[in-house]
Amino acid sequence: MNCLRKIGFVLGRSAKLFSTSTQNPQKIAILGASGGIGQPLALLMKQSLFVSEIALYDIANAAGVAADLSHIETRAKVTGHTGPDNLKAALDGAKVVIIPAGVPRKPGMTRDDLFSMNASVVADLSRACGKYCSDAMICIITNPVNSTVPIAAEILKKEGVYNPRRLFGVTTLDITRSNTFIAEAKGLDVSKVSCPVIGGHSGNTIVPVLSQCTPSVNFAQKAREELVARIQNAGTEVVNAKAGAQVSGESYSLDFVRSSWRCLEEAECGEVEAKRGQPKPHSGGESGRVVEFGNADIYLSECTLVVAFRWLQMCPNVDELVVASSVVSLLGCVCLSGIDSASGLRFVAPKGSATLSMAYAGARFANSLLHAMKGHADIVECAFVECDVAETEFFASPVLLGSVGVAFAVDVTDRVRGLRLPNGVEKVFGAGKLNEYEIELVKKAMPELKKSIQKGKEFAAAY
């Protein structure tokens, strides 16, 4: 069964733009549109036949991205919306909201680091969706998806508008990677390869179901284990490759940030000085804490948002003066990858994560969803959605998309409901049983997956 319908993108003007299948296109909103994923994602969606308007929102530079995209000769209108005061306008009337906002992984970062940085971003944007476009399909790209989707669900519940059929964690990148790596290993045409991926969207929670790949493929045990490990760690592969051979996780001083964070919390005001290199925190007297950090000085004057300093430490090439009190959200501006909207100063952040492939995956999922919303049948994609599988509230599996969102998770909720691990997973979807190796992968994934889901729920409950 080819369980993944691939929706292509059409470039330029075409008679197909006026076909009956693309009448009444929809407004979509991209939240985090100026970032490394948001910009290429916006470019791809500008080419979609199913889109009438793209509202680009970010804390900085959304107008510039919108102006750039608006010169492309496809029919989707592009509007830019910068800052919280303009979020309502971006969301008003949107039928699909795609959220890549937040900070991507950098070398040396743990999932806990990523969670602490992105959880509040997703919570705030989800709350806005609940207020301004409560009937929209919401597609979460922001990592860690295993936690951010539960956060969004709980926030939408607080707003009284939660519909589990309209909330998706976008795991499509795991499928595109699986298809690509399998095709490379077997010398196949990648456009004809389709391998479902279930579980979650990080590390060992990613479970490629190689036994249900189309066309059928076989791997020796060692080769299979290496392939699965590569799929599970593909994000790290890209992060390290983009960072380059001369950059290590230690270069970003996360250990320093963790150890110094306690003392930096005490500095509610005054000047915080940082320099690139090996950092050594020391007392700065009445003006607050001062940190020596190599060469080029970095100053945060009157820093009332000390957490901004933590972010700044992850941008080791910053060498400009920043006055924190003049920025509405220095934290957000540093998150963005580099543009301080108040002063126009540019940060040079680490080279980042899988931005281009993630943008492609996000656009593919969004186009599949828009296609299904038009009433087209048999549109199936894998996504991290609420379902009752193996005692976990959320699980990534193939889902049949429809005009109301998730029509149903393919054979998961019908055939696996009530199953309990570790007694084994008999069936996850209609293509057949998991083999013993895949069952073990699911068992290993469940503790981490449950922990991540619970962490997201607890954060949202207290937010």
Task: Give the residue numbers annotated as catalytic, written as ranges.
Answer: 201
Bond prior to 107 in cis (omega within 30° of 0) = no
Q: Which amino acid is at 84?
A: P
Q: Which amino acid is at 284?
A: G
Give Cα separations from 234 to 219, 229, 320, 334, 448 (angstroms): 19, 8, 34, 26, 18
Please report the sign of the dihedral spanned by the C-alpha atoms of residue 388, residue 390, residue 393, residue 396. Answer: negative
Residue 247: CB partners within 8 Å, gap ≥ 6?
A: 107, 350, 351
Angle between helices 38-46 and 62-69 (to 10 degrees): 30
Q: Which amino acid is at 427?
A: K
| Cβ atoms < 10 Å from Cβ of 86 | 17
Which string of b and e fits 96-135 if b means at least 16 CB within 10 Å? bbbbbbbbbbbbbbebebbbebbbbbbbbbbbbbbebbee
Give backbone dihedrals phi and psi of 320, rounded to 5 degrees, phi first. -120, 160
Helices (H), 341-435: 355-373, 412-415
DSSP string, 132-200: H-TTSEEEE-SSPHHHHHHHHHHHHHHHT---GGGEEE--HHHHHHHHHHHHHHHT--GGG-B--EEE-
397 bridge partner residues: 383
